[in-house]
Chain A
Amino acid sequence: MSGQTATIIGTASAAREQPPASLVGPWAWARRNLFGSWWSSAVTILLGYLIVRWAWGFIDWAVINAVWSVPVASNPLDTAAPCRQMAGVGACWAVIGDKWRFILFGRYPYDQQWRPALCILLFIALYGVSANRAFWRKELLYIWVATLAVIAFLMWGGVLGMDYVAQDQWGGLPITLILATFGLAFAFPLAVVVALGRRSTQLPAVKFLCVGYVELIRGVPLISLLFMASVMFPLFMPEGLNPDKLLRAQIAIILFAAAYLAEVVRGGLQSLPKGQYEAADALGLSYWQKTLKIILPQALRMVIPPLVNNFISFFKDTSLVLIIGIFDLLTAGKVAMADPTWTGFSTEIYLVLAAIYFVFCYAMSHYSRSLERKFSRARNR
């Protein structure tokens, strides 16, 4: 008898836990959000029509009518003839087939291009390893140093029977990855130090220096910093002591990125409740113990989204080195477009460049979201 009652109550409450089927599922969602009123239905239909039309037009151009390859012509200027017949109707992916090695590696000696290719893979492997929390320990630092050393060694060569390749012959994706990776790897720690310095109450001189640095750098656009690095800086340097152009651009990017990241980190430091500092003080932790064990781990977790936002934007900002003649991915693409054989097919090249940038940036943002989820789970449940 009592068992029966319990069953009845059980089903009744179970039924109440689950909303009726008409309220869940994709159809219910669509009805609620897309067709809630005649006005929203009208907007949905109009936008839906535009999206479908545009998408169809794009597929038509990019896939159905596209020219994927062209036969070798006796006159190089005629190579693109099959593409030109389809101009405006179909995409000419043949230009990518012909130019991809130039876009990826720039003017790096053709028969040596396995070296920058290997560097790209090393960079990607490095990102992959760093993203894995199981590797978040001291050894990761050594992995970074070793990998970056191997990359430098592969790019320059000159030993172990590899030809020496001067830095002004480097180009394409490795340059973009070098600028972004070294840039952020140095800018981030610098930013943390500057942010800490800016909040220092004990050392007013340090604080003044940090505030001055951040305000000065934030006050100028990256382009002018790059110009300064490439044009003005050599004027002040003694003869013979002139670091190469890539290094100067790299330093400009580091200084620029660090100023912005420092402000993000400072936001994180400020958002920590005062009680955390007091508890650490009361336990007798020293400034650095408190900072490294209590303050930074929490402050940095809190600012993951804006940090990654900045990372993504600096990754793309490295393309500004175009204006001082450094041969990064975008520059290589622009030079490829200027090839007389393939004039008129810049859209295809731009699309490929955009896709490459997108892959890296999307990976960053995807990773940051997973990181946020992990941290919030560890803290709350």
Chain B
Amino acid sequence: MSQTNEAPEAAIVLDRVNKWYGAMHVLRDVSITIGKGERVVVCGPSGSGKSTTIRCINRLEEHQQGRIVVDGTELTNDTRALDTIRREVGMVFQSFNLFPHLTILENCTLAPIQVRKMPKAEAEELAMSYLRRVKIPEQAKKYPLQLSGGQQQRVAIARALCMKPKIMLFDEPTSALDPEMIKEVLDTMVGLAETGMTMVCVTHEMGFARQVANRVVFMDRGEVVESGTPHEMFENPQTERLQTFLSQILRGH
């Protein structure tokens, strides 16, 4: 395993990461360093490579050039390194991706039992505590398709938390939800941010970014164009691309 010389408090380091789909260059020299406990919001127009970037962090996509170091472990073809990283990184998807054949409780206990080898009773207790935290303990015995979208997404968050990850990734967690359900999910995420979790969140919810993000990263056409605190970014955008993007977002909302 290669030596890392970044500051020890870095949770995630992306160092000149490049990725191509066939001939299409979708990530161009993306470099982002995220400290432990930091909360980063990634935004940018559609197709700019936001999803690809955060999916590279737990290797749902493979990068082809550059270095990705997560929690001190570099992502290589070594499967053991990958197993370690996936255990420490939780992910929440736009389309929830709950397992429809398992109950809510089973969705939450599966990975702790299988991957962490936790005894079933302990896993269930843990799952119930997280389900209480996302405010749906009473749904534990139901199946995912019996729940509303907002409830499903909260279960997905609880499911990821049950692995006790050090880092949480969110890929547009509220984009598939009806407006009245967005708030319940965002509230859950704000609550999570208050616990000091390291979070990387792709979202267009600027209110959320303002409230919890330490830093906003703006991507366009596969590049990191600008990054800074929410205040700097939204009140005083430096690049024309970000200005255009922000005006579009504001018009859209």
Q: Is B208 an interface residue (CB 8 A)?
A: no
Bound-state CA distance A297–B89 (Å) is 26
A202 nearest CB neighbor, chain B only: B79
Q: B139 to nearest A CB, angstroms?
A: 14
Task: Mark each residue of chain A from 308 to 346: 1 if its CB lies under 8 Å from any CB of chain B, else 0.
Answer: 000000000000000000000000000000000000000
Size category of the B interface is 20 to 34
In A269-290, which residues have CB < 8 Å from any B CB?
273, 275-276, 278-286, 289
Chain B residues with Cβ below 8 Å from A137 are: none
Q: Is A380 an interface residue (CB 8 A)?
A: yes
Identify A284's interface contact among B98, B143, B163, CB under 8 A.
B163
Chain A residues with Cβ below 8 Å from B160 are: 282-283
| Number of A-B pairs, beta carbon distance below 8 Å | 68
Interface centre among B89, B97, B143 (most CB of A within 10 A): B97
**A interface residue numbers (CB < 8 A to B):** 273, 275-276, 278-286, 289, 293-294, 297-298, 301, 378-381
Contact A278 B93 (CB under 8 A): yes
Segment at the interface with A among B67-75, B109-117, B215-223: B109-117
A280 nearest CB neighbor, chain B only: B99
Chain B residues with Cβ below 8 Å from A281 are: 58, 60, 86
In B77-117, which residues have CB < 8 Å from any A CB?
83, 86-87, 89-91, 93, 95, 97-101, 110-111, 114-115
In B106-152, which residues have CB < 8 Å from any A CB?
110-111, 114-115, 143, 145-146
Contact B97 A289 (CB under 8 A): no
Contact B163 A283 (CB under 8 A): yes
Contact A282 B101 (CB under 8 A): no
Identify B101's interface contact among A275, A283, A301, CB under 8 A.
A301
Q: Is B159 an interface residue (CB 8 A)?
A: yes
Contact B86 A379 (CB under 8 A): no
Contact A285 B111 (CB under 8 A): yes
Q: A344 to nearest B CB, angstroms?
A: 56
B142 nearest CB neighbor, chain A only: A381
A288 nearest CB neighbor, chain B only: B114
Q: B105 to nearest A CB, angstroms?
A: 14
Contact B146 A381 (CB under 8 A): yes
Bound-state CA distance A281–B91 (Å) is 10
Contact A283 B145 (CB under 8 A): no
Between-chain CB contacts (< 8 Å), 10 pairs: A273-B95, A275-B97, A280-B99, A282-B160, A283-B90, A284-B83, A289-B114, A301-B101, A378-B101, A380-B143
Contact B114 A285 (CB under 8 A): yes
